[in-house]
Structure 1
Amino acid sequence: MHTVWKGSISFGLVNIPIKLHAATENKDVKLRQLHKKCNTPISYKKVCEGCDQEVTEDEIVKAYEYAKNKFVVLDQEDLENLRKENEDKAVEIIDFVKLQEIDPIYFERSYYMSPDSNGSKAYTLLRKTLEESGKIGVAKIIIRSKEQLAIVRVFKDALVMETIHFPDEVRSIGEVPNIPSEQAVVQKELDTALLLVDQLTTAFDPDKYQDEYRLRLMDLIEEKKADSTVTASEAKRPLPDNVTDLMSALQASLDKTKPKKTTRKRKTLKEKTS
């Protein structure tokens, strides 16, 4: 399993070298966009709106837009130093709380934690401590240049780190429009609704739930493959050796679109411009 982060986590004076591994994966079926005319994949280019030119990665800098079209440019070196300054620090569990105290709206992404070299004993100690106490640990960690609030808990035989949102990242419920105020509910309707809940109540079994749309989409794709309803893109056109040779590119385009039969030989573009 791929390691997405490597470092250490501590509680008190106990330090545990660990690795993080993504606990979930996106199973969405990715569909490509093709040019309808020739079934060639569509590519996207980074273009400067001011210069109307395509730019390369080494021509791009990062900036913060503090007002409309006003930016503070941030040097890559400064960002790298800031990232290293925080990533080099060990992750420390700063609090222990009950899992039930955290609303699910705060949860973001899950990672399996595995012990790194010589960390098995301390890893087992933390796992056993969390199991016996019924608590979870709250910590901070830098992942992909972003500081994350996280909790550490036990899942089956493993420690799991869940990144959670900071309070200011959760929007206020007051911003949600059209939430009805408290209204009187007919008791008969409420009793019927509660009865329905009782009838549908069961033990949670995650294996019984499936992504029906994704399964049907894959069935459709396999069906089209079996029926030979497939397309292939045209071979890429070779680019001129010198892409800046505009005249050669124009001449090649003219030659490609020239009618097969003609009664009169046209002058080439070079002859016209000479």
Structure 2
Amino acid sequence: MRAIWKGSIAFGLVNVPVKLYSATENHDVDMHQVHDKDGGRIRYERHCEVCDESVEYSDIDKAYDDGEHRVILTKDDFEALPAEDNDDIDVLQFVPNDQIDPIMLERAYFLEPTSKTPKAYLLLRKTLDSTDKTAIVKITLRTRTRLAILRTRGKLLMIQTLRWADEIREVDFKGVNSRAKISDKELEMSTQLVESYSDDFMPEEFSDDYQEELKKLIDTKIEQGESMDLEEAFPEDEEEEDSGGDVVDLMEALRQSVDNSRSSKKSGAKKSGSKVSDSKKSSKKKAS
């Protein structure tokens, strides 16, 4: 990994030198656009509608237009902003972990201690863990001042940028204010359904099926060329058996869902049980 920012966590008289690294990466397959007629690469030009010339990126400024006023902002204007050169992660306050609404979370970054004696880093990490607190901080990334949280992840300190409060939309959907009566039995069946699907979250057990199929498509085209048979390479799944018509009644839908979940668990248990019994039989044969 390559550090994208270098500075210090600053609160009170305590200073913790750190480097910042992106904590995530995109696993999507990189592709570019081509002309469907001849496969030629599609490229885009920055074109000025006034002088009708192509413009280099270095010659482009930005403009704000609200319909009545238009203001052009140059590179010098942006460089004059006070947030430009701030290389501190300023701690504003410490709050309980459960006060951070997940809807506010954006990008995640790891923090590496850069001091030869990283005691301050270790102390801050241990303090956050022992107090169950998260630090609210401000950081300047790529000339923009961002609100963020500073928290622990295992042995690491990490930053997650936040959306500002006025970026979260306030909505009042009509349906959420409904006075529909929920019976005790419906709540009980719904709880059973939730329990039947409950398990520990293991992120590594999930995969991006679309990207895997896309890679398979690319590999197959490399091997077989344009003569590849799509239907043979990607056969359509057989249609599922009819479950007996649409279920309209909520209570009946809950009951069927719970029953389906239980039967799928039983069939899974039988399969694993048969594997165990088969392995016992084979071990007995080897012993005899």
Aligned equivalents of 2:75, 2:104: Cα separation in 1: 31
2:93 aligned residue: 95
User: Gapped runs of 5+ residues in structure 2?
Assistant: 228-288
Q: Does 2:112 align with 1:127?
A: no
Match of 2:13 in 1: 13
Q: What does residue 190 of structure 2 align with?
A: 193
| 1:178 Cα deviation from its structure 2 partner | 5.4
- Cα shift readout 1:116-171 (whole Å, capped 9, x = no counterpart): 24361211111111111111111001111211111111101100111111101111
The number of residues matched between the two structures is: 226
Question: What's the Cα RMSD here?
Answer: 1.9
CA distance in 2, matches of 1:48, 1:19: 40
Distance 2:208 2:26 in 1: 12
Higher helix share: 2
User: Once the 2 structures are TM-superposed, how far is the Cα of residue 23 of structure 1 from its aligned partner?
Assistant: 0.2
SS at match of 1:77: helix
The offset of 1:46, in angstroms, is 0.8
After TM superposition, the runs of 4+ consecutive aligned structure 1 residues lying more than 6 A away are none
Three-state SS of the structure 1 residue aligned to 2:196 is helix
- TM-score where L is the length of structure 1: 0.77
The one-letter code matched in structure 1 to 2:162 is: I
Deviations 1:7-43 (A, max 9, x none): 1111221101111100001112233211112211100
The CA distance in 2 between the partners of 1:187 and 1:80, in whole Å, is 62
Q: Secondary structure at the match of 1:82?
A: coil
Find the aligned partners of 1:38 and 1:21 in 2 and give their Cα distance.
41
| Alignment of structure 1 residues 58-77 onto 2, 5 Å | 58-65=58-65, 67-68=66-67, 70-77=69-76
Q: Is 1:32 aligned to 2:28, yes or no?
A: no
Residue 281 (structure 2) aligns with: none
CA distance in structure 2 between the partners assigned to 1:41 and 1:186 by the alignment: 61
Cα distance change on mapping 1:215 and 1:142 into 2, 3 Å: same
* Structure 1: gaps spanning 5 or more residues: 231-274
2:206 maps to which residue? 209
Kindly provide the amino acid, as one letter, of the partner of residue 217 in structure 1.
L
- Displacement of 1:228 in angstroms is 3.0
Structure 1 partner of 2:150: 152
Distance 1:117 1:42 in 2: 48
Aligned to 2:49: 49
Classify 1:4/1:119 alpha carbon distance in 2 versus 1 (closer, same or farther; 3 Å): farther
Larger relative contact order (Cα-Cα within 8 Å, sequence gap ≥ 6): 1
TM-score scaled by length of structure 2: 0.73
Task: Select 1:112's aligned residue among 107, 110, 113.
Answer: 110
C-alpha contact 1:97 1:137 (8 A) present in aligned 2 = yes
Question: Does 2:173 correspond to 1:181?
Answer: no
Q: Compute the displacement of 1:103 (Å).
A: 1.1
Residue 173 of structure 1: how far off its partner (Å): 2.2
Give, in whole Å, the separation in 2 of the partners of 1:75 and 1:198: 58
Counterpart Cα distance in 2 of 1:39 and 1:3: 38
Aligned-partner Cα distance in 1 for 2:76–2:43:
30
> What SS does the aligned partner of 2:140 have?
strand
Q: Distance in 1 between matches of 2:131 and 2:183?
A: 44
Letter in 2 for 1:172: E
